[in-house]
């Protein structure tokens, strides 16, 4: 997980909860390739952000209705970039999350970039294989019963 995201999300406790949720999801799926990918993410052997491109993961997610966008917790932020950043930092502190300093953020930047590059490589490779057969499974499941 990106170290900056981990810090914003609550650190080790959040990572443990995320790991448990991913392992639970892996145990419940009937797609062995998807289950393997979830376990790899849970164990830190695959970047978390690859799930945002994973067709099996996307099939499980429900898109947020557009009319609820105003209900987003950051929808009421106003001002220029510095003012918005200050408001976000104030909200994080109120939730018990200490935002990283500029120096901390700069120190984490290289690792975040490396994770992005690794994720992009994984996604390119997975696209070549149809995500280990998950794309084919999803297409088959979407067909009407009579066409199977």
More reliable by pLDDT, 141 or 148: 141
How many angstroms separate the CA atoms of 59 and 7, rounded?
A: 28
DSSP SS3 for 65:
coil
CA dihedral for 32, 128, 136, 23, sign (positive or negative): positive
Model confidence, pTM: 0.72
- Cβ of 6: how many Cβ atoms within 10 Å? 16
Q: For residue range 66-113, what is the model confidence (pLDDT) as tens digits?
A: 555 556 666 677 788 888 888 888 888 888 878 888 898 888 889 889
pLDDT score, position 69? 54
- pLDDT-derived band at 65, boundaries 50, 70, 90: low
């Amino acid at each position: 997980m990106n170290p900056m995201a981990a810090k914003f999300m609550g650190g080790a406790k959040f990572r443990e909860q995320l790991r448990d949720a991913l392992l639970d999801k892996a145990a419940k799926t009937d797609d062995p390739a998807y289950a393997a990918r979830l376990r790899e993410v849970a164990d830190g052997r695959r970047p978390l952000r690859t799930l945002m491109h994973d067709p099996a993961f996307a099939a499980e997610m429900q898109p947020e209705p557009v009319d609820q966008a105003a209900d987003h917790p950051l929808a009421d932020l106003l001002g220029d970039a510095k003012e918005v950043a200050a408001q976000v930092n104030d909200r994080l502190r109120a939730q018990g999350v200490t935002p990283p300093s500029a120096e901390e953020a700069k120190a984490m930047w290289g690792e975040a970039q490396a994770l992005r590059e690794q994720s992009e490589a994984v996604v390119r490779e997975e696209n070549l294989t149809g995500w280990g057969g998950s794309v084919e499974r999803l297409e088959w499941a979407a067909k009407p019963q009579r066409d199977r």
